[in-house]
Structure 1
Protein backbone atom coordinates (compact mmCIF):
# COMPACT_ATOMS: atom_id res chain seq x y z
CA UNK A 1 0.00 0.00 0.00
CA UNK A 2 1.45 3.36 -1.03
CA UNK A 3 2.18 5.99 1.58
CA UNK A 4 0.65 9.45 1.34
CA UNK A 5 3.09 11.69 -0.52
CA UNK A 6 2.61 14.61 -2.90
CA UNK A 7 5.10 16.29 -5.20
CA UNK A 8 5.26 19.82 -6.58
CA UNK A 9 8.03 20.80 -8.98
CA UNK A 10 9.18 24.41 -8.77
CA UNK A 11 10.86 25.38 -12.04
CA UNK A 12 13.35 28.15 -11.40
CA UNK A 13 14.08 30.76 -14.06
CA UNK A 14 17.78 31.39 -13.55
CA UNK A 15 19.76 28.39 -14.87
CA UNK A 16 16.42 26.59 -15.44
CA UNK A 17 17.09 24.80 -12.14
CA UNK A 18 14.46 22.81 -10.28
CA UNK A 19 13.40 22.56 -6.65
CA UNK A 20 11.18 19.74 -5.41
CA UNK A 21 8.50 20.07 -2.74
CA UNK A 22 7.43 16.79 -1.12
CA UNK A 23 4.52 16.83 1.32
CA UNK A 24 1.95 14.76 3.18
CA UNK A 25 -0.89 15.91 5.45
CA UNK A 26 1.47 16.97 8.22
CA UNK A 27 4.85 18.03 6.83
CA UNK A 28 6.93 19.30 3.91
CA UNK A 29 10.41 18.43 2.67
CA UNK A 30 12.18 20.65 0.13
CA UNK A 31 14.92 19.40 -2.18
CA UNK A 32 17.24 22.17 -3.42
CA UNK A 33 16.42 25.88 -3.24
CA UNK A 34 17.35 27.67 -6.49
CA UNK A 35 20.09 30.04 -7.64
CA UNK A 36 19.07 33.41 -6.19
CA UNK A 37 17.30 34.88 -3.18
CA UNK A 38 14.45 36.49 -5.11
CA UNK A 39 13.32 33.20 -6.57
CA UNK A 40 13.92 31.43 -3.26
CA UNK A 41 11.55 33.91 -1.59
CA UNK A 42 8.83 32.99 -4.09
CA UNK A 43 9.54 29.32 -3.44
CA UNK A 44 9.21 29.95 0.30
CA UNK A 45 5.85 31.63 -0.23
CA UNK A 46 4.61 28.59 -2.16
CA UNK A 47 5.69 26.31 0.68
CA UNK A 48 3.99 28.53 3.27
CA UNK A 49 0.75 28.28 1.31
CA UNK A 50 0.66 24.57 2.17
CA UNK A 51 0.20 25.48 5.86
CA UNK A 52 2.44 22.65 7.07
CA UNK A 53 5.88 22.76 8.71
CA UNK A 54 8.95 22.53 6.49
CA UNK A 55 11.00 19.94 8.37
CA UNK A 56 13.97 19.48 6.02
CA UNK A 57 15.79 21.28 3.24
CA UNK A 58 17.89 18.71 1.40
CA UNK A 59 20.72 19.91 -0.85
CA UNK A 60 21.71 17.44 -3.55
CA UNK A 61 25.22 18.77 -4.25
CA UNK A 62 27.61 21.65 -3.90
CA UNK A 63 26.76 23.82 -6.90
CA UNK A 64 25.28 27.22 -5.98
CA UNK A 65 22.33 27.00 -8.35
CA UNK A 66 21.00 24.36 -5.96
CA UNK A 67 21.76 25.97 -2.60
CA UNK A 68 21.83 29.79 -2.92
CA UNK A 69 18.37 30.04 -1.34
CA UNK A 70 19.49 28.39 1.91
CA UNK A 71 19.61 31.56 3.95
CA UNK A 72 16.13 32.58 2.73
CA UNK A 73 14.73 29.21 3.80
CA UNK A 74 16.43 29.46 7.19
CA UNK A 75 14.97 32.95 7.66
CA UNK A 76 11.46 31.97 6.62
CA UNK A 77 11.50 28.58 8.37
CA UNK A 78 13.77 28.90 11.41
CA UNK A 79 13.15 25.31 12.53
CA UNK A 80 14.04 23.71 9.18
CA UNK A 81 16.92 21.24 9.25
CA UNK A 82 19.30 21.70 6.31
CA UNK A 83 20.78 18.33 5.36
CA UNK A 84 23.07 16.74 2.79
CA UNK A 85 23.75 13.06 2.21
CA UNK A 86 27.50 12.97 2.90
CA UNK A 87 30.21 14.99 4.65
CA UNK A 88 31.88 15.46 1.27
CA UNK A 89 28.88 17.36 -0.09
CA UNK A 90 28.89 19.62 2.95
CA UNK A 91 32.57 20.37 2.30
CA UNK A 92 31.82 21.02 -1.38
CA UNK A 93 29.25 23.66 -0.38
CA UNK A 94 31.60 25.31 2.09
CA UNK A 95 34.52 25.30 -0.33
CA UNK A 96 32.48 26.65 -3.24
CA UNK A 97 30.99 29.42 -1.12
CA UNK A 98 34.41 30.39 0.25
CA UNK A 99 35.78 30.53 -3.30
CA UNK A 100 32.83 32.57 -4.56
CA UNK A 101 33.39 35.16 -1.86
CA UNK A 102 37.10 35.33 -2.70
CA UNK A 103 36.32 36.29 -6.32
CA UNK A 104 33.42 38.63 -5.55
CA UNK A 105 30.62 36.36 -6.76
CA UNK A 106 28.64 36.74 -3.53
CA UNK A 107 28.27 40.52 -3.66
CA UNK A 108 24.72 40.01 -4.93
CA UNK A 109 24.08 37.41 -2.23
CA UNK A 110 25.83 38.87 0.84
CA UNK A 111 23.86 36.70 3.27
CA UNK A 112 25.63 33.65 1.82
CA UNK A 113 29.11 34.95 2.63
CA UNK A 114 30.64 32.46 5.07
CA UNK A 115 30.74 33.31 8.75
CA UNK A 116 34.29 34.20 9.83
CA UNK A 117 35.96 36.27 12.51
CA UNK A 118 36.01 39.12 10.00
CA UNK A 119 32.36 38.51 9.06
CA UNK A 120 30.62 37.28 12.24
CA UNK A 121 27.15 37.82 10.72
CA UNK A 122 27.85 35.56 7.75
CA UNK A 123 26.13 32.26 7.01
CA UNK A 124 27.35 29.55 9.39
CA UNK A 125 27.69 26.61 7.01
CA UNK A 126 29.29 24.35 9.62
CA UNK A 127 26.50 24.82 12.15
CA UNK A 128 23.56 25.04 9.73
CA UNK A 129 24.21 21.98 7.56
CA UNK A 130 23.78 18.46 8.97
CA UNK A 131 24.38 15.02 7.48
CA UNK A 132 21.27 12.98 6.69
CA UNK A 133 20.86 9.91 8.87
CA UNK A 134 20.45 6.49 7.25
CA UNK A 135 20.24 7.94 3.76
CA UNK A 136 16.49 8.54 3.93
CA UNK A 137 14.22 11.59 4.05
CA UNK A 138 11.01 10.73 5.92
CA UNK A 139 7.77 12.71 5.92
CA UNK A 140 5.71 12.90 9.12
CA UNK A 141 3.26 10.21 8.01
CA UNK A 142 6.02 7.78 7.07
CA UNK A 143 6.66 8.13 3.34
CA UNK A 144 10.36 7.67 2.60
CA UNK A 145 12.59 9.17 -0.06
CA UNK A 146 15.86 7.27 -0.45
CA UNK A 147 19.10 9.14 -1.15
CA UNK A 148 22.12 7.76 -3.03
CA UNK A 149 25.54 9.38 -3.40
CA UNK A 150 27.80 6.45 -4.29
CA UNK A 151 28.77 7.80 -7.70
CA UNK A 152 32.05 8.66 -9.37
CA UNK A 153 32.74 12.35 -10.00
CA UNK A 154 30.67 13.50 -12.98
CA UNK A 155 28.83 16.84 -13.42
CA UNK A 156 30.24 17.63 -10.00
CA UNK A 157 32.51 15.79 -7.57
CA UNK A 158 29.72 14.47 -5.33
CA UNK A 159 26.08 14.22 -6.38
CA UNK A 160 22.96 12.74 -4.79
CA UNK A 161 20.04 11.09 -6.53
CA UNK A 162 16.69 10.31 -4.89
CA UNK A 163 14.10 7.56 -5.27
CA UNK A 164 10.48 7.47 -4.19
CA UNK A 165 8.78 4.09 -4.42
CA UNK A 166 5.43 5.69 -3.63
CA UNK A 167 5.70 8.20 -6.48
CA UNK A 168 7.40 5.72 -8.83
CA UNK A 169 9.95 8.46 -9.42
CA UNK A 170 13.73 8.74 -9.68
CA UNK A 171 15.34 12.12 -9.16
CA UNK A 172 18.50 12.03 -11.26
CA UNK A 173 19.29 15.64 -10.39
CA UNK A 174 22.26 16.95 -12.36
CA UNK A 175 22.91 13.71 -14.16
CA UNK A 176 20.03 14.92 -16.36
CA UNK A 177 19.39 18.31 -17.99
CA UNK A 178 16.19 17.79 -19.95
CA UNK A 179 15.89 20.38 -22.71
CA UNK A 180 18.67 22.42 -21.10
CA UNK A 181 22.31 22.67 -22.16
CA UNK A 182 24.25 20.85 -19.41
CA UNK A 183 27.27 22.07 -17.47
CA UNK A 184 30.21 20.36 -19.21
CA UNK A 185 33.05 22.63 -18.07
CA UNK A 186 34.52 19.65 -16.24
CA UNK A 187 37.40 17.20 -16.54
CA UNK A 188 37.31 14.71 -19.38
CA UNK A 189 37.35 11.84 -16.87
CA UNK A 190 34.26 13.32 -15.21
CA UNK A 191 32.56 13.33 -18.59
CA UNK A 192 33.39 9.67 -19.14
CA UNK A 193 32.10 8.80 -15.66
CA UNK A 194 28.91 10.72 -16.43
CA UNK A 195 28.36 8.79 -19.63
CA UNK A 196 28.92 5.45 -17.93
CA UNK A 197 26.48 6.33 -15.18
CA UNK A 198 23.81 7.33 -17.70
CA UNK A 199 24.19 3.97 -19.42
CA UNK A 200 23.82 2.21 -16.09
CA UNK A 201 20.71 4.17 -15.16
CA UNK A 202 19.13 3.36 -18.52
CA UNK A 203 19.69 -0.36 -18.00
CA UNK A 204 19.06 -0.96 -14.30
CA UNK A 205 16.22 1.39 -13.36
CA UNK A 206 12.58 0.40 -13.67
CA UNK A 207 11.31 1.28 -17.12
CA UNK A 208 8.08 2.88 -15.95
CA UNK A 209 9.64 5.45 -13.61
CA UNK A 210 9.21 9.18 -14.04
CA UNK A 211 12.67 10.76 -14.21
CA UNK A 212 13.21 14.21 -12.71
CA UNK A 213 16.38 16.07 -13.61
CA UNK A 214 18.10 18.92 -11.87
CA UNK A 215 17.27 21.20 -14.82
CA UNK A 216 14.31 21.14 -17.18
CA UNK A 217 11.11 19.15 -17.29
CA UNK A 218 10.55 15.57 -16.11
CA UNK A 219 10.56 12.73 -18.59
CA UNK A 220 10.60 8.98 -18.92
CA UNK A 221 13.51 6.54 -18.88
CA UNK A 222 14.58 7.69 -22.37
CA UNK A 223 16.03 10.91 -20.92
CA UNK A 224 19.20 9.02 -20.00
CA UNK A 225 19.93 8.08 -23.61
CA UNK A 226 19.00 11.59 -24.74
CA UNK A 227 21.50 13.05 -22.27
CA UNK A 228 24.14 10.56 -23.38
CA UNK A 229 23.65 11.51 -27.03
CA UNK A 230 24.00 15.20 -26.16
CA UNK A 231 27.31 14.61 -24.41
CA UNK A 232 28.61 12.53 -27.33
CA UNK A 233 27.56 15.26 -29.75
CA UNK A 234 29.26 17.91 -27.62
CA UNK A 235 32.51 15.95 -27.53
CA UNK A 236 32.46 15.57 -31.31
CA UNK A 237 31.66 19.25 -31.92
CA UNK A 238 34.35 20.71 -29.64
CA UNK A 239 36.93 18.28 -31.03
CA UNK A 240 36.37 19.56 -34.57
CA UNK A 241 35.48 23.22 -34.03
CA UNK A 242 37.97 25.83 -35.22
CA UNK A 243 36.56 28.47 -32.88
CA UNK A 244 34.23 28.93 -29.95
CA UNK A 245 31.75 30.66 -32.23
CA UNK A 246 31.70 27.65 -34.52
CA UNK A 247 31.14 25.27 -31.62
CA UNK A 248 28.35 27.40 -30.21
CA UNK A 249 26.63 27.63 -33.57
CA UNK A 250 26.87 23.89 -34.21
CA UNK A 251 25.51 22.91 -30.78
CA UNK A 252 22.62 25.34 -31.14
CA UNK A 253 21.85 23.93 -34.58
CA UNK A 254 21.81 20.41 -33.14
CA UNK A 255 19.72 21.45 -30.12
CA UNK A 256 17.70 24.51 -31.17
CA UNK A 257 15.08 24.18 -28.44
CA UNK A 258 17.51 23.84 -25.53
CA UNK A 259 17.74 26.68 -23.02
CA UNK A 260 20.75 28.24 -21.25
CA UNK A 261 22.95 28.55 -24.36
CA UNK A 262 24.11 31.97 -23.16
CA UNK A 263 25.19 30.61 -19.78
CA UNK A 264 25.77 26.88 -19.40
CA UNK A 265 26.71 26.17 -23.01
CA UNK A 266 29.07 29.15 -23.24
CA UNK A 267 31.09 28.02 -20.22
CA UNK A 268 31.18 24.44 -21.48
CA UNK A 269 32.43 25.44 -24.92
CA UNK A 270 34.99 27.85 -23.48
CA UNK A 271 36.45 25.03 -21.38
CA UNK A 272 37.25 22.95 -24.45
CA UNK A 273 37.77 25.30 -27.39
CA UNK A 274 40.65 27.76 -27.46
CA UNK A 275 40.03 31.37 -28.49
Structure 2
Protein backbone atom coordinates (compact mmCIF):
# COMPACT_ATOMS: atom_id res chain seq x y z
CA UNK A 1 0.00 0.00 0.00
CA UNK A 2 1.79 3.10 -1.26
CA UNK A 3 -1.02 5.56 -1.98
CA UNK A 4 -2.38 8.07 0.49
CA UNK A 5 -6.07 8.84 0.73
CA UNK A 6 -7.60 12.26 0.33
CA UNK A 7 -11.06 13.50 1.15
CA UNK A 8 -12.93 16.30 -0.62
CA UNK A 9 -16.48 17.58 -0.35
CA UNK A 10 -18.93 18.79 -2.99
CA UNK A 11 -21.70 20.94 -1.53
CA UNK A 12 -24.78 21.75 -3.60
CA UNK A 13 -26.31 25.10 -2.59
CA UNK A 14 -29.66 25.67 -0.92
CA UNK A 15 -32.48 25.15 -3.39
CA UNK A 16 -35.89 26.90 -3.39
CA UNK A 17 -38.90 24.85 -2.38
CA UNK A 18 -42.62 25.46 -2.09
CA UNK A 19 -43.38 25.73 1.60
CA UNK A 20 -46.64 25.17 3.48
CA UNK A 21 -49.18 27.66 2.10
CA UNK A 22 -50.71 28.34 5.51
CA UNK A 23 -47.38 29.40 7.06
CA UNK A 24 -45.76 32.72 6.12
CA UNK A 25 -42.46 32.15 4.35
CA UNK A 26 -39.26 33.40 6.00
CA UNK A 27 -37.24 36.19 4.43
CA UNK A 28 -35.81 34.88 1.16
CA UNK A 29 -38.45 32.17 0.89
CA UNK A 30 -38.46 28.49 1.78
CA UNK A 31 -35.29 26.60 0.93
CA UNK A 32 -33.91 23.08 1.05
CA UNK A 33 -30.60 22.97 2.95
CA UNK A 34 -27.24 22.72 1.19
CA UNK A 35 -26.49 19.06 0.49
CA UNK A 36 -23.06 17.44 0.39
CA UNK A 37 -21.42 14.45 -1.28
CA UNK A 38 -17.94 13.28 -0.26
CA UNK A 39 -15.19 11.84 -2.45
CA UNK A 40 -12.62 9.56 -0.83
CA UNK A 41 -9.74 9.16 -3.29
CA UNK A 42 -6.54 7.22 -3.63
CA UNK A 43 -3.93 7.62 -6.34
CA UNK A 44 -6.16 6.27 -9.12
CA UNK A 45 -9.59 5.33 -7.73
CA UNK A 46 -12.31 6.94 -5.64
CA UNK A 47 -15.44 6.20 -3.61
CA UNK A 48 -18.33 8.66 -3.42
CA UNK A 49 -20.50 8.88 -0.31
CA UNK A 50 -24.07 10.05 -1.07
CA UNK A 51 -25.41 12.09 -3.97
CA UNK A 52 -27.54 15.22 -4.49
CA UNK A 53 -31.17 15.36 -5.66
CA UNK A 54 -31.58 17.91 -8.45
CA UNK A 55 -30.72 17.34 -12.09
CA UNK A 56 -28.55 20.47 -12.27
CA UNK A 57 -26.54 19.70 -9.15
CA UNK A 58 -26.15 16.02 -10.07
CA UNK A 59 -24.58 17.02 -13.38
CA UNK A 60 -22.26 19.43 -11.58
CA UNK A 61 -21.33 16.68 -9.13
CA UNK A 62 -20.51 14.34 -12.03
CA UNK A 63 -18.35 17.05 -13.64
CA UNK A 64 -16.56 17.58 -10.32
CA UNK A 65 -15.79 13.88 -9.98
CA UNK A 66 -14.60 13.70 -13.58
CA UNK A 67 -12.32 16.70 -13.03
CA UNK A 68 -10.65 14.87 -10.13
CA UNK A 69 -9.10 12.48 -12.63
CA UNK A 70 -10.00 9.48 -10.44
CA UNK A 71 -11.93 6.41 -11.52
CA UNK A 72 -15.17 6.27 -9.56
CA UNK A 73 -15.48 2.65 -8.42
CA UNK A 74 -18.26 2.90 -5.84
CA UNK A 75 -21.17 5.09 -4.77
CA UNK A 76 -22.21 4.46 -1.16
CA UNK A 77 -25.57 5.68 0.17
CA UNK A 78 -25.74 6.36 3.91
CA UNK A 79 -29.53 6.33 4.36
CA UNK A 80 -32.86 6.20 2.59
CA UNK A 81 -33.75 9.87 2.25
CA UNK A 82 -34.42 10.73 -1.37
CA UNK A 83 -32.19 13.81 -1.44
CA UNK A 84 -29.13 11.62 -0.83
CA UNK A 85 -29.68 8.81 -3.33
CA UNK A 86 -31.79 10.23 -6.15
CA UNK A 87 -28.79 11.59 -8.04
CA UNK A 88 -27.36 8.09 -8.37
CA UNK A 89 -28.99 7.69 -11.78
CA UNK A 90 -27.05 10.62 -13.23
CA UNK A 91 -23.79 9.33 -11.78
CA UNK A 92 -24.27 5.75 -12.95
CA UNK A 93 -24.98 7.08 -16.45
CA UNK A 94 -21.72 9.05 -16.37
CA UNK A 95 -19.69 6.35 -14.56
CA UNK A 96 -21.23 3.02 -15.61
CA UNK A 97 -18.50 0.92 -13.99
CA UNK A 98 -19.26 2.29 -10.51
CA UNK A 99 -21.09 0.03 -8.03
CA UNK A 100 -24.03 1.48 -6.12
CA UNK A 101 -24.11 0.00 -2.61
CA UNK A 102 -25.78 0.44 0.78
CA UNK A 103 -26.44 -1.50 3.97
CA UNK A 104 -29.31 -3.99 3.92
CA UNK A 105 -31.73 -1.69 5.77
CA UNK A 106 -30.95 1.32 3.57
CA UNK A 107 -31.22 -0.75 0.37
CA UNK A 108 -34.63 -1.94 1.57
CA UNK A 109 -35.82 1.64 2.10
CA UNK A 110 -34.68 2.63 -1.39
CA UNK A 111 -36.35 -0.43 -2.90
CA UNK A 112 -39.63 0.61 -1.25
CA UNK A 113 -39.44 4.04 -2.90
CA UNK A 114 -38.49 2.54 -6.27
CA UNK A 115 -41.71 0.52 -6.14
CA UNK A 116 -44.05 3.17 -4.68
CA UNK A 117 -42.81 6.51 -6.07
CA UNK A 118 -44.34 8.25 -3.05
CA UNK A 119 -41.35 10.44 -2.20
CA UNK A 120 -40.74 11.41 -5.82
CA UNK A 121 -44.36 12.55 -6.12
CA UNK A 122 -44.21 14.51 -2.87
CA UNK A 123 -40.80 16.15 -3.29
CA UNK A 124 -41.28 16.67 -7.01
CA UNK A 125 -44.08 19.09 -6.15
CA UNK A 126 -42.06 20.70 -3.36
CA UNK A 127 -38.83 21.46 -5.23
CA UNK A 128 -38.79 24.38 -7.66
CA UNK A 129 -35.78 22.83 -9.45
CA UNK A 130 -36.13 19.60 -11.42
CA UNK A 131 -35.36 16.46 -9.45
CA UNK A 132 -33.75 13.34 -10.86
CA UNK A 133 -36.61 10.94 -11.56
CA UNK A 134 -35.12 7.44 -11.66
CA UNK A 135 -34.43 5.39 -8.54
CA UNK A 136 -31.67 2.81 -8.87
CA UNK A 137 -31.73 0.12 -6.21
CA UNK A 138 -28.31 -0.37 -4.61
CA UNK A 139 -26.79 -3.76 -4.01
CA UNK A 140 -26.42 -4.79 -0.37
CA UNK A 141 -22.91 -4.37 1.00
CA UNK A 142 -22.93 -7.62 2.96
CA UNK A 143 -19.51 -7.41 4.64
CA UNK A 144 -19.75 -3.65 5.40
CA UNK A 145 -16.26 -3.07 4.03
CA UNK A 146 -15.04 -1.25 0.95
CA UNK A 147 -11.42 -1.38 -0.14
CA UNK A 148 -9.68 1.56 -1.75
CA UNK A 149 -6.16 0.85 -3.00
CA UNK A 150 -5.36 -1.22 0.08
CA UNK A 151 -7.07 1.09 2.58
CA UNK A 152 -10.13 0.10 4.62
CA UNK A 153 -13.30 2.13 4.11
CA UNK A 154 -15.81 0.78 6.61
CA UNK A 155 -19.59 1.08 6.39
CA UNK A 156 -21.16 1.12 9.85
CA UNK A 157 -24.88 0.40 10.17
CA UNK A 158 -26.56 2.37 12.93
CA UNK A 159 -30.07 2.81 14.13
CA UNK A 160 -31.66 6.19 14.62
CA UNK A 161 -30.69 9.50 13.08
CA UNK A 162 -33.37 11.65 11.46
CA UNK A 163 -34.46 8.36 9.91
CA UNK A 164 -34.96 4.99 11.62
CA UNK A 165 -32.16 3.15 9.80
CA UNK A 166 -28.97 4.96 8.94
CA UNK A 167 -25.26 4.34 8.48
CA UNK A 168 -21.96 6.14 8.18
CA UNK A 169 -18.55 5.63 6.60
CA UNK A 170 -15.42 5.35 8.74
CA UNK A 171 -12.02 5.90 7.14
CA UNK A 172 -9.49 4.99 9.84
CA UNK A 173 -6.45 6.13 7.83
CA UNK A 174 -7.89 9.65 7.66
CA UNK A 175 -9.46 9.63 11.15
CA UNK A 176 -12.61 10.57 9.26
CA UNK A 177 -16.29 9.76 9.37
CA UNK A 178 -18.89 10.69 6.73
CA UNK A 179 -22.13 10.64 8.66
CA UNK A 180 -25.02 11.43 6.31
CA UNK A 181 -27.92 12.90 8.30
CA UNK A 182 -26.66 11.66 11.67
CA UNK A 183 -25.12 15.10 12.22
CA UNK A 184 -25.91 18.50 10.70
CA UNK A 185 -23.29 21.21 10.24
CA UNK A 186 -24.53 24.77 10.78
CA UNK A 187 -28.03 24.01 9.46
CA UNK A 188 -31.13 22.96 11.38
CA UNK A 189 -31.59 19.17 11.73
CA UNK A 190 -34.78 17.70 10.35
CA UNK A 191 -37.00 16.75 13.29
CA UNK A 192 -40.27 15.87 11.55
CA UNK A 193 -41.80 12.86 13.27
CA UNK A 194 -39.23 12.79 16.07
CA UNK A 195 -40.27 12.14 19.67
CA UNK A 196 -38.48 11.78 23.00
CA UNK A 197 -37.45 8.16 22.41
CA UNK A 198 -36.16 8.70 18.87
CA UNK A 199 -34.25 11.82 19.87
CA UNK A 200 -32.54 9.94 22.71
CA UNK A 201 -31.67 7.11 20.30
CA UNK A 202 -30.28 9.67 17.85
CA UNK A 203 -28.09 11.14 20.59
CA UNK A 204 -26.84 7.64 21.38
CA UNK A 205 -25.84 7.16 17.74
CA UNK A 206 -23.91 10.42 17.83
CA UNK A 207 -22.20 9.44 21.09
CA UNK A 208 -21.06 6.14 19.60
CA UNK A 209 -19.43 8.01 16.72
CA UNK A 210 -17.76 10.36 19.21
CA UNK A 211 -16.14 7.29 20.80
CA UNK A 212 -14.12 6.87 17.58
CA UNK A 213 -12.53 10.28 18.29
CA UNK A 214 -12.56 11.33 14.63
CA UNK A 215 -10.66 14.39 13.47
CA UNK A 216 -12.83 14.87 10.36
CA UNK A 217 -16.63 14.70 10.40
CA UNK A 218 -18.56 15.40 7.20
CA UNK A 219 -22.31 15.92 7.46
CA UNK A 220 -24.58 15.50 4.45
CA UNK A 221 -26.20 18.87 5.17
CA UNK A 222 -23.60 21.54 5.74
CA UNK A 223 -22.87 25.09 4.76
CA UNK A 224 -20.21 25.22 2.08
CA UNK A 225 -17.82 27.16 4.34
CA UNK A 226 -18.43 25.03 7.44
CA UNK A 227 -15.52 23.28 9.16
CA UNK A 228 -15.66 19.49 9.06
CA UNK A 229 -14.52 18.58 12.56
CA UNK A 230 -15.78 16.65 15.59
CA UNK A 231 -17.58 19.69 17.01
CA UNK A 232 -20.34 18.87 14.51
CA UNK A 233 -21.23 15.82 16.62
CA UNK A 234 -21.35 17.74 19.89
CA UNK A 235 -23.32 20.59 18.32
CA UNK A 236 -25.96 18.20 16.98
CA UNK A 237 -26.25 16.49 20.38
CA UNK A 238 -26.71 19.88 22.08
CA UNK A 239 -29.38 20.87 19.54
CA UNK A 240 -31.34 17.65 20.11
CA UNK A 241 -31.07 17.99 23.88
CA UNK A 242 -32.45 21.53 23.77
CA UNK A 243 -35.37 20.45 21.60
CA UNK A 244 -36.11 17.57 23.94
CA UNK A 245 -36.12 19.86 26.99
CA UNK A 246 -38.47 22.24 25.20
CA UNK A 247 -40.83 19.54 23.96
CA UNK A 248 -40.45 16.57 26.31
CA UNK A 249 -42.44 13.56 25.17
CA UNK A 250 -43.86 15.36 22.13
CA UNK A 251 -43.73 14.24 18.54
CA UNK A 252 -42.90 17.02 16.11
CA UNK A 253 -45.37 17.17 13.25
CA UNK A 254 -43.64 19.89 11.23
CA UNK A 255 -40.24 21.49 10.90
CA UNK A 256 -38.90 24.60 9.22
CA UNK A 257 -37.82 24.09 5.63
CA UNK A 258 -35.64 27.18 5.83
CA UNK A 259 -32.15 26.25 6.94
TM-score past 0.5 threshold: yes
- Is the contact made by 2:160 and 2:201 (CA closer than 8 Å) also made in structure 1? yes
Higher-Rg structure is: 1
How many equivalent pairs are there?
230
- Is the contact made by 2:53 and 2:131 (CA closer than 8 Å) also made in structure 1? no
Instruction: Indicate the residue corresponding to 1:252 in structure 2.
Output: none
Instruction: Write out per-residue CA displacement over residues 136-195 of structure 1, whole angstroms, 9 at most, x where no aligned residue.
Output: 1212x212211100x233311211111112111122321110101001113312212012
Give the Cα–Cα distance (whole angstroms) in 2 for the partners of residues 101 and 53 of structure 1.
Answer: 31
Instruction: Indicate the residue corresponding to 1:191 in structure 2.
Output: 199
* Residue 173, structure 1, aligned to residue 176, structure 2: no
Judging changes above 3 Å, is the alpha-carbon distance between structure 1 residues 218 and 171 closer, same or farther for their aligned structure 2 residues?
farther
Unmatched 5+ stretches in structure 2? 15-32
Instruction: Indicate the residue corresponding to 1:213 in structure 2.
Output: 219
Instruction: Indicate the residue corresponding to 1:8 in structure 2.
Output: 8
Q: CA RMSD in A?
A: 2.8
Which residue of the other structure, out of 232, 236, 240, is the alignment partner of 1:227? 236
Judging changes above 3 Å, is the alpha-carbon distance between structure 1 residues 3 and 166 closer, same or farther for their aligned structure 2 residues?
farther
Instruction: Indicate the residue corresponding to 2:144 in structure 1.
Output: 135
- Is the contact made by 1:63 and 1:96 (CA closer than 8 Å) also made in structure 2? no
Instruction: Write out per-residue CA displacement over residues 72-108 of structure 1, whole angstroms, 9 at most, x where no aligned residue.
Output: 001111121111122x211111223524367454474
Instruction: Indicate the residue corresponding to 2:106 in structure 1.
Output: 89
Judging changes above 3 Å, is the alpha-carbon distance between structure 1 residues 26 and 200 closer, same or farther for their aligned structure 2 residues?
closer
Give the Cα–Cα distance (whole angstroms) in 2 for the partners of residues 146 and 164 of structure 1.
Answer: 6
Which residue of the other structure, out of 39, 59, 63, is the alignment partner of 2:77? 59
Q: Counterparts of 1:98-117 in structure 2 under 5 Å?
A: 98-100=116-118, 103-106=121-124, 108-109=130-131, 111-112=133-134
Give the Cα–Cα distance (whole angstroms) in 1 for the partners of residues 160 and 139 of structure 2.
Answer: 22
The residue matched to 2:184 in structure 1 has which SS? strand
**Where does structure 1 differ by over 6 angstroms across 4 or more consecutive aligned residues?**
none
Question: What TM-score do you get using the length of structure 1 for normalisation?
Answer: 0.74
Larger % of helix: which?
1
Give the Cα–Cα distance (whole angstroms) in 2 for the partners of residues 214 and 143 of structure 1.
Answer: 23
- Is the contact made by 2:156 and 2:168 (CA closer than 8 Å) also made in structure 1? yes
The residue matched to 1:163 in structure 2 has which SS? strand
| 1:110 Cα deviation from its structure 2 partner | 6.0
Instruction: Indicate the residue corresponding to 1:272 in structure 2.
Output: none
- Is the contact made by 2:154 and 2:171 (CA closer than 8 Å) also made in structure 1? yes
The residue matched to 2:38 in structure 1 has which SS? strand
Which residue of the other structure, out of 171, 179, 183, is the alignment partner of 1:164? 171
Unmatched 5+ stretches in structure 1? 113-122, 249-260, 265-275
Higher relative contact order (CA 8 A, sep 6+): 2
The residue matched to 1:215 in structure 2 has which SS? coil
